[in-house]
Structure 1
Amino acid sequence: MTDETGGHARIRRFLDEHAPASPCLVIDLETVRDRYRALAGSWPEADLLYAVKANPAPEVVGLLARSGAGFDVASPGEVALCLAEGARPESLSYGNTIKKRADIEYAHSMGVRTFTTDSLQDLENIAAAAPGSSVFCRILLEDTGALTPFRGKFGCSPETAVRLLQRAAELGLRAGGVSFHVGSQQLDPRAWDAGIAEAATVTAKLAAAGTVLDALNIGGGLPGRYTQRTPPLRDYVAAIAESIDRHFGPMGADAGTPRLVLEPGRFIVGDAGLLQTEVVLVADRGPADGRRWVYLDVGRYNGLAEAEGEAITYRIASPDKDGPPGPVILAGPTCDGDDIIYQRNVYHLPTDLGPGDRLHILNAGAYTASYSSVGFNGFPPLPTHCIDHRTDTGLRGSV
């Protein structure tokens, strides 16, 4: 399986010229630029807050800060990273609803003035530690069919959201708007409709009670390219715009169309990355299954956490061998029985594949290095190298 996009070609040249140790993730910054510009051009009036958790490489954050992006942050560490890379404090939104009061205090002391909540206790902590800040309330959505859903961990009912945003005003905070998330790697452009409808109901109820919300945060969920077919960006833009017009249009001037906020992560960095791995060994376990076991130097704990449940199925290329393909089971290098990458989904790789041969896991820029463990079984975290053909192609790494 091959991919001849410009970003992958540039990454392959870098790998051939510099031969970094395996495994490693390489990010093409020009692809990051292109994806951000595509979103900004499609939603020129929206606030685009990059979800730092998708890939926190300083080079990625710095590039997006210079491009005018805001940032969705979830911890003091992400706040500090964004500010160190030139982001303006007011461009940061603390979107994690699960946070210590000390973390709120730190973010506020650094200039962060927007927070998201979904519970009274957290709201009261924000009021005490970040007085006068703007608050979004996250509502809970039912399973929207995303490949990686949130399973009810975040959000509250619309009725609770009304009470919390009313209480926010009483506590001296500014009720900014409603937020929701349709789950990561969302393949249905219509999946945002239910959340927009709920948000419109909350907004209308608050407007009737005298509290006007001016924004709507529809989260992330825009997909990267894996083995599944994904709709084009224009389909998402059209479906979301139509839904907002339909649900918010009849409200009138006092509670009309809100300012739109998006939190893209995977869409911006996913297709910008290529993960290079080496074959450790190949084992034939007998005729019962008929598949070879191919063990890689990367697995669930040092870069491929999203292979859990085999929901995210990466495209894989073999640059070293091109013999006839045969079915394989792919597994990682650790002494953990769960460190199996793909068994239910059958991949076919060259039958002459052997130890030391490289494999390229394509479109792996999101949730790979950032999910990597600190050293499970003694295997180090996945190193990241960022390349930018506008400056140089030298080895620029961030771990």
Structure 2
Amino acid sequence: MLSPGLESILARPRPTPFLALDPGVARERYRALRAAFGDAARILYAVKACPEPAVLRALAGEGAGFDVASQGEIALCLAAGADPADLQHGNPVRGPGAAGLAAASGVRRFVTDSAEDVDALAAEVPGARVQVRLSVDDTGSATPFHGKFGALPGTAVALLRRAAERGLEPAGVTFHAGSQQTRPQTYATAVALALAVAGRAGLRRPELDLGGGWPVGYRSEVAGPGEFATAVRGAVDAAIAGGAVEAVTLLLEPGRAVVAPAGVLRATVLRVSRRPGIDHRRWVYLDVGRYQGLAETEGEAIGYPVRVPGRTGAAGPCVLAGPTCDGDDVIYRRTPVALPLDLAAGDVVDLLHTGAYTSSYASVGFNGFGPLEVVVADGA
């Protein structure tokens, strides 16, 4: 069931494709996460998921912090009313001067995962508070993060010590369990490893940043925030009881889990074709595809629910494709999609739970197709 704000947007005819967005839904999702993890846990919204100013304003009004990756995201958060003290620069791939520029905007919290970056932080932002990102198992995720970011345990211990030696404040450890992570146990295992690392580095009361990856039920149910919180708390309690650390301050960086259900991407059918000898199914071409906001369908990692307003007849299988001339612009070939048999060019199609990683991923004009328009619910 969609929110009244989303239904109101979709009730008005307008050119497609566009993303209908209701920041009120993001606000409610934020509150649910906060309730599950408790007021002691600090929530930093991952701006990259959806940097729409109305969403940032809604979350800043709730007291959220923000995970930022660039000066552009910092500027957006400050314009939305965020306190720079509530921003954490979570991207450990920073060019020369980037950390200093962030610090000039008031940011004093940084994530790092390499000796080179620790030294750069020490030079550009002396005394800054840092977390070391740990590489962890990401089994159960739709998009693994292993390899590009994170340090192995022994290296992470050395980096925390190096940070202290260079005059930085080693605050704790962070990790990312993979995007759309559906297994609470994966978080619990990562927590145990992260707190062991913190203890080895001499941090008795570390920050533990659980990162992002919190899942959304796209086409099937997923564990709720309470189940993930229970798994995390169990692992934290075990680490404290085992003497690895004395106390832990929790942070988490949800993006998808907060904003995905706040959006609906409306598209128009350009053509319905039969492809004899190529595929027994119909091919349905939409005016939106991989390059206009559906980047997460690469490898069919994310399966958005699809509906066709106004069509109620029998449905049959189809392949869903985008409008460009690129052969990779096929949305779903393996993922089952059943659309009405009387579907025709000109019909509108809605892709649900598309508030995250759509408008922020859309190209600025590949093949002449423009950026994805965002329409925000009234009153946001």
TM-score, length-scaled by structure 2: 0.97
CA distance, structure 2, for counterparts of residue 175 and residue 151 of structure 1: 23
Equivalent residue number for residue 31 of structure 1: 25
Q: How many residues align?
A: 379
| 2:74 aligned with 1:82 | no
Classify the secondary structure of the residue corresponding to 2:289. coil
Equivalent residue number for residue 284 of structure 1: 274
Equivalent residue number for residue 220 of structure 2: 228
Q: AA paired with 2:6? A: I
1:123 equivalent among 113, 118, 122: 118
Q: AA paired with 1:329? A: V
Equivalent residue number for residue 210 of structure 2: 218
Q: Conserved in 2, the CA contact under 8 Å of 1:178 and 1:215? A: yes
Equivalent residue number for residue 342 of structure 1: 332
Equivalent residue number for residue 250 of structure 1: 242
| 2:371 aligned with 1:376 | no
CA distance, structure 1, for counterparts of residue 59 and residue 319 of structure 2: 38
> Larger deviation: 354-363 or 228-237?
228-237
Q: Conserved in 1, the CA contact under 8 Å of 2:207 and 2:249? A: yes
1:221-252 C-alpha deviation (Å, 9 max, x unpaired)? 11112113211221111111111111233327
CA distance, structure 1, for counterparts of residue 286 and residue 278 of structure 2: 22
Classify the secondary structure of the residue corresponding to 2:215. coil
Query: Any residues of structure 2 matched to 1:1-399 within 5 Å, and which?
Result: 4-5=1-2, 7=3, 9-17=4-12, 19-43=13-37, 44-207=39-202, 211-251=203-243, 255-286=245-276, 289-388=279-378, 391=379
Q: Conserved in 2, the CA contact under 8 Å of 1:116 and 1:137? A: yes
The change in CA–CA distance for 1:288 and 1:120 in structure 2 (over 3 A counts) is closer
Q: Conserved in 2, the CA contact under 8 Å of 1:225 and 1:271? A: no
CA distance, structure 1, for counterparts of residue 204 and residue 238 of structure 2: 19
| Alpha-carbon shift at residue 212 of structure 1 (Å) | 4.3
Classify the secondary structure of the residue corresponding to 2:271. strand
Classify the secondary structure of the residue corresponding to 1:243. helix
Q: AA paired with 2:115? A: L
CA distance, structure 2, for counterparts of residue 79 and residue 20 of structure 1: 32
1:347-378 C-alpha deviation (Å, 9 max, x unpaired)? 11011111110001001100011111121111
Q: Conserved in 1, the CA contact under 8 Å of 2:158 and 2:201? A: no
Classify the secondary structure of the residue corresponding to 1:341. strand
Q: Conserved in 1, the CA contact under 8 Å of 2:134 and 2:175? A: yes
| Alpha-carbon shift at residue 152 of structure 1 (Å) | 1.3
| Alpha-carbon shift at residue 143 of structure 1 (Å) | 3.5
Classify the secondary structure of the residue corresponding to 1:374. coil
The change in CA–CA distance for 1:85 and 1:288 in structure 2 (over 3 A counts) is closer
Q: Conserved in 2, the CA contact under 8 Å of 1:28 and 1:273? A: yes
Equivalent residue number for residue 396 of structure 1: none
CA distance, structure 1, for counterparts of residue 177 and residue 240 of structure 2: 19
| Alpha-carbon shift at residue 256 of structure 1 (Å) | 1.3
CA distance, structure 2, for counterparts of residue 142 and residue 29 of structure 1: 33
CA distance, structure 2, for counterparts of residue 227 and residue 185 of structure 1: 12
Q: AA paired with 1:230? A: V
Classify the secondary structure of the residue corresponding to 2:11. helix
Write out the 4+ residue segments of structure 1 that deviate beyond 4 Å after TM superposition. Answer: none
CA distance, structure 2, for counterparts of residue 108 and residue 13 of structure 1: 41
- Mind listing any 5+ residue stretches in structure 1 that lack a counterpart? 393-399
- Mind listing any 5+ residue stretches in structure 2 that lack a counterpart? none
TM-score, length-scaled by structure 1: 0.92
Q: AA paired with 1:161? A: A
Q: Conserved in 2, the CA contact under 8 Å of 1:281 and 1:354? A: yes
CA distance, structure 2, for counterparts of residue 75 and residue 20 of structure 1: 33
Q: AA paired with 1:81? A: L
The change in CA–CA distance for 1:233 and 1:142 in structure 2 (over 3 A counts) is closer
**% identical aligned pairs:** 46
